[in-house]
Chain A
């Protein structure tokens, strides 16, 4: 039993991203993903199934769900509702992310800097440079208790992913109900 626990901790620490490695880890991950995106013989679905595992251990999807709903709404939900909603929203988030990177054509990624926001938060500022436009993308990391540094939000040209979902979820939950929100999310899947 002790060995198993020890093994568990060793593997955990191996997987966890250290602060010093954030830039290189992300760069490698994005490079891996783009090498899949530019393959012309794969369709979007096949690309998606290959891209998901790359980012699986660096996005804190559970926290992203909670932040998108907001504390007030999250507290009101039953554990079953939380689970049900999380599963659906996480699938939606993943699909949405793959959709976004499918817009990728000939841009070059440049890692600008790792900006320290607080002891528990760092933002990785990156820039996609295209033939005409450039897009600033910020990957926001926080220090989780068990899994090292994880992404809790992505900011594209000043637009926070969490913020746009928060605004919408809050509106639907205030004006309508949890059931409506779920059915609207269902239609997307």
Chain B
């Protein structure tokens, strides 16, 4: 008899537990309903990234931001006021055109032979008929599109992750992979070889420094509004720029 009583008690207890659990799950499912369809798209893992250089990265972000807003911004805006947009775009095209070896090499390294061939055609057409790349005639007349690839993307293509974020002086957010990539790309970057060497005509580094500074100022004059605009979205500037950079790079590597 006693055993039977225990059994009934046990069943009753089990029932209560099940009901409680069920009602809880119902309650939760009601609260979180709207999240269910989006959990794959916005995983939590992405946000809790390992960041060993944070102590350096955050002040460097603030330094860069200061330089962009208070020094480069006014310079770029003054320059933008003096020089019309088609000319600035043309100058940007020239710098872009001359860095063709970077794109060619990295397209090859990623087995994108078709793109490498198209890049070569673009370089040949734009360097001649396009007046050293000033006019992107290959795109407007022949419909040949750009195929931007750099060594950072190549490393990403071979599976290297974006694990350690590094903020570079003036260049802004990057990571270990892309910093290695930048160094790798300098070897095939013609602008880098404008430095003083035994085997070239440059007697000092003035031309090299001028070219780089001018390239940077010209490029920034085309994008100054974009930076100041995206900055407005910040609750935490370092995290914002890092997220923007990583998402953009992931998209480029996926292409």
Contacts and interface: CB of A to CB of B under 8 A. Distances in A.
A55 to B, nearest CB: 17
A181 B38 CA distance: 23
Task: Give chain B's interface residue range (CB within 8 Å of chain A).
Answer: 35 or more
Contacts of A75: 31-32
The interface residues of chain A, by DSSP majority, are classed as helix
Nearest to A136: B251
B199 to A, nearest CB: 35
B229 A163 contact: no
B218 to A, nearest CB: 12
The interface residues of chain B, by DSSP majority, are classed as helix
Contacts of B2: none
Nearest to A185: B235
Given A166-B42, A167-B243, A184-B235, A132 B92 contact: yes
Contacts of A158: 247-248, 250-252
A103 B222 CA distance: 11
B44 A168 contact: no
B200 interface: no
B240 A168 contact: yes
Given A162-B42, A167-B47, A121 B37 contact: yes
A131 B31 CA distance: 48
Nearest to B33: A145
A22 to B, nearest CB: 17
A142 interface: yes
Interface residues of A, number: 39
A96 interface: yes
A132 B89 contact: yes
Interface in B2-39: 31-32, 34-35, 37-39
Given A70-B42, A103-B229, A120-B37, A172 B248 contact: no
Nearest to B232: A99
Contact of A72 (B44, B89, B226): B44
B243 A168 contact: yes
Given A132-B89, A159-B248, A160-B247, A166 B47 contact: yes
Contacts of A168: 234-236, 239-240, 243
B240 A159 contact: no
Contact of A164 (B37, B92, B229, B247): B247
A75 B33 CA distance: 12
B163 interface: no
B251 A157 contact: yes
User: Which 3 pairs, one residue from A and one from B, show the smallest C-beta to C-beta distance?
Assistant: A158-B251, A167-B243, A168-B235
18 contacts: A63-B34, A66-B34, A71-B39, A103-B226, A160-B247, A163-B42, A164-B240, A164-B243, A166-B47, A167-B46, A167-B240, A167-B242, A170-B48, A171-B47, A171-B239, A184-B235, A184-B236, A185-B235
Given A66-B35, A171-B47, 18 more contacts: A63-B34, A70-B44, A72-B44, A74-B35, A131-B86, A132-B93, A142-B38, A153-B41, A159-B243, A162-B42, A164-B233, A166-B47, A167-B240, A168-B235, A168-B239, A170-B48, A171-B236, A172-B236
